[in-house]
A = this chain, B = another copy of it.
Amino acid sequence: MNEKINIGIIGGSGFTGLELVKILKNHKYSNISFLTSRTYKNKEVSEVFPSIQDEKKNGLVFKETALKSDYENIDLLFLCLPPYNSMEHVHNTAGNKNYKIIDIGSDFRINDPASYKSWYGKDHIIPELLNDFVYGLPEINRDLIKKSSYVANPGCYPTSVLLGLAPLLKAGYELEHISIDSKSGVSGAGRKLAEPYLFGSLNNNFYPYCPKNHRHIGEMEQEIKKISGHDYKIDFTPHLLPINRGIFSSIYCKTVQGQADDFEENITEVYNDFYSDSIFVKVLTANIPQLKDVVGTNRCLVGISYDGRTSILKIFSAIDNLLKGAAGQAVQNMNLMFGLEEDEGLKMDGTYS
């Protein structure tokens, strides 16, 4: 392939939108046709966000909204919008059929309208489209994504959790119980102006939030069922870390008692096999995953530890919530949908060493 993919981005000035811009700027086959931002309409991206270089003065400028003619010239649309806004956008632009869509928001991740309502508290306005969107976790659904025009990019927590659990569940291991303790950097909350997100409130601090019924549970249980065939009810508790980026999930799986001595070793092999074709997931053996090793990359590091005393299998999973948990994974999906190398534009190493 040697033509460029023409791309539109709706909601380009949030953390996810900007990470997308940074990746696409250095992506060999991408051309950003337009990107929108109500807050910064008509402003140059590199003026508002000096961390983004525009040395060639390409004039990447935020538009307030995209016009009908804008949509006519694109091959792919990324939606970086808050809950309920993606489905409204798709609903309002439903006549446009000529481009693919990757929704980085949460509106098309749940397949069942009733389940959507129970987790999101509202009726879905275009439930008939829910099954057209493939759940965009490439390590699980690579082939489906390649063939699909509509992709729902997974949530940040679900990405970290599902990559940690998939090989185990796929291999058919039965679990009595799954408890997940996740910790996220503050960028997961976007640029929300609220006291808990002030530097003075979060620096030196740590705490859980939303200890019951976090929305991502619905998405996780749905995918866990697809992988395992079982109706697991998972226990999930998110916490807020005093860092900018990164999600670390500690997943505690209660196994059937009396595992063999080489259980940890066997499980590690299962994981290595499962991810043998997945460039972005690395199963560590000598080390335990650390956030600093994934921040700035599109990778997921996985660690495995089995405690024979309690029959608990501990799975540790680390990702950058804005990359593998959002914009990076979205470009990975784009690469698959357009027949490109899966890691085109995503070869970044970590920020810390």
Interface on A for B, CB 8 Å cutoff? 15, 18-19, 22, 25-26, 47, 49-53, 55, 177, 179, 181, 183, 186-187, 191, 193-195, 197-209, 211-213, 233-235, 237, 239, 241-246, 248, 250, 252, 254, 279-280, 282, 284, 286-297, 299, 301, 305, 307, 309-310, 312, 314, 316, 318, 343, 347-353
Query: What chain B residues lie within 8 Å of A352 (beta carbons)?
Result: 51, 200, 204-205, 244
Query: What chain B residues lie within 8 Å of A205 (beta carbons)?
Result: 243, 290-292, 352
**B296–A51 contact, CB under 8 A?**
yes
For the complex, what is the distance from the CA of A280 to the CA of B248, rounded to whole Å? 31
**A199–B244 contact, CB under 8 A?**
yes
Query: What chain B residues lie within 8 Å of A282 (beta carbons)?
Result: 50
| CB < 8 Å neighbour of A201 from B201, B292, B297 | B292
**A208–B250 contact, CB under 8 A?**
yes
**B200–A53 contact, CB under 8 A?**
no
**B51–A18 contact, CB under 8 A?**
no
With both chains docked as a complex, state the minimum distance between the C-beta of A193 and any C-beta of chain B, in angstroms.
5
Query: What chain B residues lie within 8 Å of A18 (beta carbons)?
Result: 353
**A199–B203 contact, CB under 8 A?**
yes
**A200–B187 contact, CB under 8 A?**
yes
**A22–B197 contact, CB under 8 A?**
no
Query: What chain B residues lie within 8 Å of A299 (beta carbons)?
Result: 53
Closest to A253 in B: B179
With A187-B200, A191-B198, A200-B187 given, is the CB distance from A349 to B51 under 8 Å?
yes
Interface of chain A, main secondary structure: loop
Chain copies in complex: 4
For the complex, what is the distance from the CA of A206 to the CA of B317, rounded to whole Å? 11
Query: What chain B residues lie within 8 Å of A290 (beta carbons)?
Result: 50, 205-207
For the complex, what is the distance from the CA of A254 to the CA of B234, rounded to whole Å? 12
With both chains docked as a complex, state the minimum distance between the C-beta of A275 and any C-beta of chain B, in angstroms.
11
**A207–B318 contact, CB under 8 A?**
yes
**A288–B349 contact, CB under 8 A?**
no
Interchain residue pairs with CB less than 8 A apart (16)? A53-B350, A177-B254, A179-B179, A183-B183, A183-B239, A186-B199, A186-B200, A197-B198, A198-B198, A201-B292, A205-B243, A206-B243, A207-B291, A235-B309, A239-B248, A296-B296
Query: What chain B residues lie within 8 Å of A348 (beta carbons)?
Result: 53
Query: What chain B residues lie within 8 Å of A179 (beta carbons)?
Result: 179, 252, 312
**B51–A294 contact, CB under 8 A?**
yes
With A15-B353, A22-B349 given, is the CB distance from A212 to B305 under 8 Å?
yes
With A179-B179, A235-B310, A239-B250 given, is the CB distance from A198 to B193 under 8 Å?
yes
| CB < 8 Å neighbour of A195 from B25, B191, B343 | B191
Query: What chain B residues lie within 8 Å of A197 (beta carbons)?
Result: 198-200
For the complex, what is the distance from the CA of A202 to the CA of B314, rounded to whole Å? 22
Query: What chain B residues lie within 8 Å of A287 (beta carbons)?
Result: 50
**A288–B209 contact, CB under 8 A?**
yes
For the complex, what is the distance from the CA of A329 to the CA of B292, rounded to whole Å? 24
**B297–A51 contact, CB under 8 A?**
yes
Query: What chain B residues lie within 8 Å of A295 (beta carbons)?
Result: 51, 204
**B199–A289 contact, CB under 8 A?**
no
For the complex, what is the distance from the CA of A348 to the CA of B292, rounded to whole Å? 19
For the complex, what is the distance from the CA of A53 to the CA of B246, rounded to whole Å? 17
